[in-house]
Homo-oligomer: A and B are copies of this chain.
Amino acid sequence: MDVDRTLYIRLYKKMFLIRVFEAKVEEMFRLGKLRGTTHGCIGQEAVAVGVLENVDLSRDYVTGTHRSHGHFLALTGKVFELISELMGKKTGIVRGKGGSQHLHYGNFYTNGITGGMIPVAVGLGMAKKLKGEEGVVISFLGDGGMNEGYVMEALNLAGVYKTPNIFVLENNCYAMSTITENFTSGKFDERVKGFGLEYHYLKALDVVEVYGFFKKIYERVRKERYPVFVEFETYRFCGHSKSDRREYVVKEWEDFWHANDPLEKCRSRIPAKVVEDVEKEIINFVEEEFRRVLAAPYPDPGEDLF
């Protein structure tokens, strides 16, 4: 098998895992087996997987958003720990205290305030810089989050202090039901350049392209240590959150992305037999992990609150 094919398979596995996971979460909500809320990333898997395949969590930091199941799974593959967290089980990555939006595992952090982690991420980058440590900080944010003032302040700080931060904008066209471009004056690329940051753009259709594109940026920032901003055009096929009926979507965009689903594209590069095996294995694995979580214990106020 050539290197390219191995890569497609590796990345496909991760993308498929995320998609199966998110679909299962949706199902569990429908069945009333999950409390709280959740934000799925079906359709956007190529960004999480392509970007994070480059990352080394032992020295890099990653910050996520409210929509970070995919980021976590791409980084760690820990299905049991994530679903435990969503179900409020003691076996969750933060003992069920966080739930879907408040994840923490090693150098990976998310939080529920959109874009609120961007200033924090600049601080992580600052620490890297001040300590003279290796490693960089990769931070995801959404198109909606781009209009939050603290995000813009933070982009300026990164530029002023030249921190090793990579900002990854997952522009999925919508902020909840809001079509972001209708509520954004000017263009993101110009704005980012207005903050003196190096700006890159890619339509995230092919996970291997995302991977390769990001790899170059990542390696440069690892070495040259200055902040970079990467915008990915992507798309969410699922609702914003569990209760969203997606009545606001733009048909043209829907059609385009369904015809160009990055999962399908990746799949088409892999022999059918391999796909079949891989998918079966992953589906079984996810089912099995969900079952195991059902049996896992709940946290105990006496032990687990702090």
Q: Among the listed B151, B184, B191, which residue makes an inter-chain contact with A191, where contact means beta carbons less than 8 Å apart?
A: B191
How many copies of this chain?
Answer: 2
A185/B195 contact (C-beta < 8 A), A148-B153, A149-B148, A152-B149 known: yes
A193 touches which of B147, B157, B183, B194 (Cβ 8 Å) = B194
Residues of B within 8 A of A159 (CB): 185-186
Q: Confirm or deny: A124 has a beta carbon within 8 angstroms of a beta carbon on chain B.
A: no
Among residues 189 to 228 in chain A, which have CB atoms less than 8 Å away from a CB atom of chain B? 190-197
**CA gap between A160 and B192 in the complex, in Å:** 18
CA distance A192 to B158 in the complex (A): 19
A54 within 8 A of B: no
- The total of chain A residues at the interface (CB under 8 A) is 27
Asked if A187 CB lies within 8 Å of chain B CBs, one says yes
Task: State whether the Cβ of A150 lies closer than 8 Å to any Cβ in chain B.
Answer: yes
Knowing A148-B149, A149-B148, A149-B153 are in contact, say whether A197-B190 is a contact too (CB < 8 A): no
Partner of A152, one of B152, B158, B182, B197: B152
Q: Does A241 contact B (CB under 8 A)?
A: no
Q: How far is the CB of A131 from chain B (nearest CB, A)?
A: 22
Within 8 A of B (CB), among A147-174: 147-153, 155-160
Q: How far in angstroms is the closest Cβ of chain B from A145?
A: 12
Asked, given contacts A149-B150, A150-B149, whether A186 binds B196 with beta carbons under 8 Å apart, the answer is yes
Question: How far does the alpha carbon of A191 sit from the alpha carbon of B190 in the complex, in Å?
Answer: 7
Chain B contacts of A190 at CB under 8 A?
190, 193-194
- Nearest-neighbour CB distance to chain B for A208, whole angstroms, equals 32
Nearest residue in B to A162 (C-beta to C-beta)? B185
Q: Mark A99-139, 1 if CB is under 8 A from B, else 0.
A: 00000000000000000000000000000000000000000
Contact residues in B for A152 (Cβ distance below 8 Å): 149, 152-153
In the bound complex, residues from chain B placing their C-beta under 8 Å from that of A193 are 186, 190, 194
- Name the one of B155, B160, B195 contacting A183, with C-beta atoms under 8 angstroms: B160
Tell me the bound Cα distance from A149 to B146 in angstroms: 11
Q: Is the CB of A153 within 8 A of B160?
A: no
Question: What is the CB-to-nearest-CB distance from A257 to chain B, in angstroms, rounded to a whole number?
Answer: 25
- CB pair B158–A147 under 8 Å, yes or no, is no
Residue numbers in B under 8 Å from A192 (CB-CB): 194
Residues of A participating in the B interface, judged by any CB pair closer than 8 Å: 147-153, 155-160, 182-187, 190-197
Subset of 15 A-B contacts with CB under 8 Å: A147-B156, A148-B149, A149-B149, A156-B184, A156-B186, A157-B185, A159-B186, A160-B183, A185-B195, A186-B194, A186-B195, A186-B196, A187-B194, A190-B194, A191-B194
A190-B193, A191-B194 are known; give 5 further A-B pairs, CB within 8 A: A148-B149, A157-B185, A160-B183, A186-B195, A190-B190
The 8 A-B pairs at the shortest CB distance, nearest first, are namely: A149-B149, A159-B185, A186-B196, A191-B194, A185-B196, A194-B194, A190-B194, A149-B153
